[in-house]
């Protein structure tokens, strides 16, 4: 009996020594506030897979090197179901319960605006990969983003339409009333279009609800208003329904222009190819990428079997922005000091070399980057056209 | 202006057809059991998914679509969905009925069954939207300013056929007579030797196969499927059934079209952001003036 006891004690002792000797006894926790269920789960999937790729890179390097010491990084993933209230809950959970150092996400503006408030009030740095609405970072020193803003994206779309479709003078807009992102972008596009084509050149400004599936009445009005171009600042699941219905009602071959919310891997399959030939403004183009961008795309494709969309690429960049900030600021062990350090490091970051472009953050916490215009080519790939 | 109105009449007919077909399912079950089967919208969603799997399987075997594949998908989906409906009745509603509990509890059970169907789908099939396959080759027809597709016409015709068949079953067959009899007096009827449970099973099978017809056509018209797709349209169809008069088949049928026309024409003449607001204010006014709906009859107990 005594022998067993001694053996047990020895075993425990050796185990604890092994654990202590492992080196990385400290773990850095980073929260992911992303939509894994809800209306566009592909968005959350891309973000999650991007974090898995970062995780693999870190494992290969033996952990994150912060001022000469290796740390293990743990991603705490919370599903926000693509709902504003759930995103707020998720943000609170990550900040208070899980005590993460920083949060990546929510992805879209509808969730990032309310969740950003929570993160800012709790003085926890947050980087949204994909939220393009100005309100996300406005007057919130702890909130940053890795993508271009709607006030950049909308005029870029108008300018592109002007050069690509000079015959299009009258435009129609169909947006999602339930989504801050879609509504704001629609208004910015309307104002920008009116500025360059004169008043009355926006002939239809129509909306629908999140759960709507039938858009026939809005499209009938758009078609009969004599619009030359249709702007759809909507999510891919709506776009996949709207475009075939527009064609069924007699839209014909007139151009349709979209925004970065089109850029999902599911867009082409859900619309059964109906989106081919149309253009949208976004953050990066997978077809024809080089360097680190290509390396990321190849890794992602090999692991998950499809080309990563822009949310995945921007999530990858967002996580790396946080990691680089941690490396710059260092780890003291005091949660609030570390969170403040990360915030300051991101705010002063110069020319962060991301796979979606170089980023330097302005006073609002927004990166200075151009918008990329891509075309859905016949193979269903998103092909680079120009930068505006 | 005329062009817009004409086009919107067809838009409303198509959209109203879906409400009507779903509302008929509510109406059947309500007519016999005085039970509002709140799971009906989700049975419709389930039917969409069943049709999706059957059509995908058939298309991968027969390569190209066409009317044969369509009819085969329709029949198989109707059978499978009828089985789903009957199973739900057996598992969730019949035990409660046997215990003779208040009807309110059965309605709550129906709500729960709806959530179970939604979340079961979410758990087993994942949250990603699915693309419904193109079963029929789409054709575009231009009649002056109005543009129609073969699918749109099929949907509208189907709604009327479904209504006609249902009227026939309820008014002219023995089963229909039993259904009406149970609805009239559920205590005296078993004494007459009418197998009440069998008639109820048949009612659920019939109601669910109606949802199947609606589901397959809906999948073809709006080919992006997700687990929550049945919720809103189910509620709205229920409202349509009440506005039309839920105890009466022609009432539910008409109610669906009323809601379809109101929704489409409100959006056609008001800013589209007011669509649901104004639509439901109108429906509320209709119900306040005529609480039993257009074709309904006064009943002392509703749930």
Query: Domain with B3 in it: what CATH number?
Result: 1.10.3470
pLDDT for position B182: 87
Q: Domain check: are A32 and A140 in the same one? A: yes
Confirm if A133 and A180 have CB atoms less than 8 A apart.
yes
pLDDT tens per residue across span A169-206: 999 999 999 888 899 999 999 999 999 999 899 999 99
Instruction: Give the gap in angstroms from C-alpha B200 to the nearest C-alpha of chain A.
Output: 33
- Min mean pLDDT across A42-51, A78-87, A280-289, B231-240 is at A280-289
Q: Domain check: are A251 and A299 in the same one? A: no
Instruction: Give the residue from B120, B129, B260 with the most A CB atoms within 10 Å of its CB, the best one to mutate.
Output: B129
B147·A240 Cβ contact <8 A: no
- Total structural domains in chain B? 1
Q: Domain check: are A188 and A220 in the same one? A: yes
Range of the domain at A155: 151-282
* Percentage of residues in chain A having pLDDT higher than 70: 94
pLDDT for position A132: 86
Q: Domain check: are A128 and A34 in the same one? A: yes
- Total structural domains in chain A? 2
B11·A220 Cβ contact <8 A: yes
A224·B3 Cβ contact <8 A: yes
Q: Is residue B163 over pLDDT 50? A: yes
Q: Which residues partner with A71 through β-bridges?
A: A64
pLDDT for position A4: 57
Q: Domain check: are A270 and A332 in the same one? A: no
Instruction: Give the gap in angstroms from C-alpha A342 to the nearest C-alpha of chain B.
Output: 34
Confirm if A380 and A309 have CB atoms less than 8 A apart.
no
pLDDT tens per residue across span A218-277: 999 999 999 999 999 999 999 999 999 999 998 989 999 999 889 887 899 998 889 999
A248·B268 Cβ contact <8 A: no
In a domain, A13, yes or no: no
pLDDT for position B193: 83
Q: Is residue B108 over pLDDT 60? A: yes
Which of A248, A282, A316 is the endpoint of a domain?
Answer: A282
pLDDT for position B245: 86
pLDDT band (50, 70, 90) for residue A3 = low
Q: Is residue B73 over pLDDT 90? A: yes
* Percentage of residues in chain A having pLDDT higher than 90: 67
B122·A37 Cβ contact <8 A: yes
In a domain, A388, yes or no: no
Q: Domain check: are A143 and A155 in the same one? A: no
Q: Is residue B23 over pLDDT 90? A: yes
pLDDT band (50, 70, 90) for residue B273 = confident
CATH number at residue A306: 3.40.50.2300
In a domain, B148, yes or no: yes
Residues of A with CB under 8 A from a CB of B: 36-42, 45, 177, 206-209, 211, 213-214, 216-218, 220-221, 224, 237, 240-241, 244, 247-250, 266, 269-272
Q: For the CA atoms of A4, A5, A7, A13, what is the dihedral angle to 10 degrees? A: 160
Instruction: Give the residue from A224, A238, A251, A253 with the most B CB atoms within 10 Å of its CB, the best one to mutate.
Output: A224
- Min mean pLDDT across A105-109, A341-345, B65-69, B129-133 is at B65-69
In a domain, B230, yes or no: yes
In a domain, A68, yes or no: yes
pLDDT tens per residue across span A268-283: 999 888 999 999 999 8
B275·A209 Cβ contact <8 A: yes
In a domain, B301, yes or no: no
Residues 6+ apart with CB under 8 A from B146: B3, B6, B7, B10
A249·B233 Cβ contact <8 A: no
pLDDT band (50, 70, 90) for residue B301 = very low
Indicate the length of chain A as a whole number.
388
pLDDT tens per residue across span B124-155: 888 778 899 988 888 888 888 888 999 999 99
pLDDT for position A21: 39
pLDDT band (50, 70, 90) for residue B280 = confident
A–B CB contacts, 8 A cutoff, strictly below: 93
Which of A282, A297, A320 is the endpoint of a domain?
Answer: A282
Say whether B145 sits in a helix, a strand or coil: coil
pLDDT band (50, 70, 90) for residue B297 = low
pLDDT band (50, 70, 90) for residue B188 = confident
The closest CB to that of B8, out of A207, A217, A272, belongs to A217
In a domain, A212, yes or no: yes
If you average pLDDT over residues A351-364, what whole number do you get? Answer: 89
Q: Domain check: are A257 and A228 in the same one? A: yes
Q: Which helix (H) or strand (E) holds A128?
A: strand A126-128
If you average pLDDT over residues A294-319, what whole number do you get? Answer: 93
pLDDT for position A23: 39
In a domain, A382, yes or no: no
pLDDT band (50, 70, 90) for residue A19 = very low
Instruction: Give the gap in angstroms from C-alpha B93 to the nearest C-alpha of chain A.
Output: 29
pLDDT band (50, 70, 90) for residue A26 = confident
Range of the domain at B9: 1-128+140-289
In a domain, A384, yes or no: no
B10 → chain A, closest CA residue: A216
A202 vs B185, which has greater pLDDT?
A202
Q: Domain check: are A313 and A271 in the same one? A: no
pLDDT for position B201: 93
A241·B224 Cβ contact <8 A: yes
pLDDT for position B126: 81
Q: Which residues partner with A55 through β-bridges?
A: none
Q: Domain check: are A206 and A322 in the same one? A: no
- The candidate with the shortest Cα–Cα distance to B249, out of B185, B295, B298, B184, is B295
In a domain, A2, yes or no: no
Kindly report the pTM of this predicted structure.
0.80
Q: Domain check: are A305 and A365 in the same one? A: yes
* Percentage of residues in chain B having pLDDT higher than 70: 96
């Amino acid at each position: 009996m005594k022998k067993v006891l001694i053996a047990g004690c020895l075993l425990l002792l050796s185990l604890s020594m092994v654990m202590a000797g492992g080196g990385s006894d400290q773990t850095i926790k980073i929260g992911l506030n992303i939509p894994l269920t809800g209306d566009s789960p592909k968005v959350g999937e891309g973000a999650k897979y991007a974090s898995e790729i970062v995780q693999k890179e870190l494992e290969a390097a033996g952990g994150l090197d912060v001022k000469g010491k290796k740390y293990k990084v743990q991603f705490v993933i919370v599903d926000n179901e693509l709902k504003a209230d759930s995103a707020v809950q998720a943000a609170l959970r990550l900040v208070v319960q899980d005590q993460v150092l920083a949060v990546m996400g929510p992805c879209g503006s509808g969730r990032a605006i309310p969740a950003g408030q929570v993160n800012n009030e709790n003085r926890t740095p947050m980087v949204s990969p994909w939220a393009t609405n100005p309100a996300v970072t406005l007057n919130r020193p702890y909130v940053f983003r890795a993508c271009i803003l709607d006030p950049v994206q909308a005029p870029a779309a108008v300018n592109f339409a002007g050069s690509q479709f000079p015959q299009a003078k009258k435009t129609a807009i169909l947006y999602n009333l339930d989504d801050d992102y879609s509504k704001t972008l629609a208004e910015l596009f309307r104002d920008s279009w009116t500025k360059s084509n004169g008043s009355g050149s926006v002939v239809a400004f129509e909306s629908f609800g999140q759960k709507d599936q039938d858009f026939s009445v809005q499209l009938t009005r758009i078609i009969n208003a004599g619009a030359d171009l249709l702007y759809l600042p909507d999510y891919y699941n709506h776009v996949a329904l709207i475009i075939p219905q527009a064609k069924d009602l007699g839209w014909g071959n007139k151009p349709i222009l979209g925004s970065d919310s089109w850029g999902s891997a599911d867009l082409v399959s859900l619309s059964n190819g109906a989106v081919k030939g149309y253009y949208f403004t976004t953050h990066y183009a997978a077809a024809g990428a080089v360097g680190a961008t290509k390396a990321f795309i190849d890794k992602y494709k090999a692991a998950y079997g499809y080309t990563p969309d822009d949310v995945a690429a921007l999530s990858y960049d967002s996580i790396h922005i946080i990691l680089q900030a941690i490396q710059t600021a260092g780890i003291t062990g005091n949660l609030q000091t570390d969170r403040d350090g990360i915030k300051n490091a991101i705010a002063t970051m110069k020319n962060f070399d991301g796979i979606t472009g170089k980023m330097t953050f302005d006073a609002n916490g927004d990166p200075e980057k151009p918008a990329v215009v891509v075309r859905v080519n016949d193979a269903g790939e998103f092909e680079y056209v120009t930068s505006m | 202006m005329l062009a817009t109105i004409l086009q919107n009449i067809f838009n409303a007919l198509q959209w109203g057809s879906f409400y009507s077909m779903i509302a008929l399912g509510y109406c059947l079950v309500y007519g016999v059991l005085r039970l509002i089967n709140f799971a009906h919208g989700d049975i419709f969603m389930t039917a969409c998914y069943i049709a999706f799997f059957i059509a995908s399987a058939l298309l991968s075997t027969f390569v190209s679509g066409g009317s044969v594949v369509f009819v085969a998908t329709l029949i198989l989906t109707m059978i499978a969905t009828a089985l789903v409906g009957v199973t739900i009745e057996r598992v969730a509603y019949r035990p409660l009925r046997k215990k003779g509990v208040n009807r309110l509890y059965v309605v709550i059970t129906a709500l729960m069954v709806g959530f179970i169907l939604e979340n079961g789908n979410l758990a087993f099939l994942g949250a990603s939207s699915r693309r419904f396959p193109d079963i029929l080759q789409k054709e575009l027809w231009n009649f002056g300013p109005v543009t129609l597709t073969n699918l749109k016409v099929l949907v509208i015709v189907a709604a009327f056929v479904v209504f006609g068949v249902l009227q026939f079953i309820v008014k002219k067959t023995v089963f229909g007579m039993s259904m009406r009899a149970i609805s009239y007096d559920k205590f005296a009827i078993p004494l007459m030797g009418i197998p009440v449970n069998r008639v109820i099973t048949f009612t659920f099978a019939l109601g669910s196969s109606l949802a199947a017809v609606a589901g397959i056509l809906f999948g073809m018209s709006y080919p992006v499927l997700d687990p929550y797709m049945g919720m809103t349209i189910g509620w709205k169809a229920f409202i349509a059934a009440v506005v039309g008069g839920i105890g009466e088949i022609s009432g539910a049928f008409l109610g669906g079209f009323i809601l379809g026309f109101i929704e489409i024409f409100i959006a056609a003449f008001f800013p589209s952001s007011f669509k649901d607001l104004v639509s439901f204010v109108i429906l509320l006014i209709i119900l306040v003036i005529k609480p039993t709906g257009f074709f309904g009859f006064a009943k002392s107990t509703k749930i």
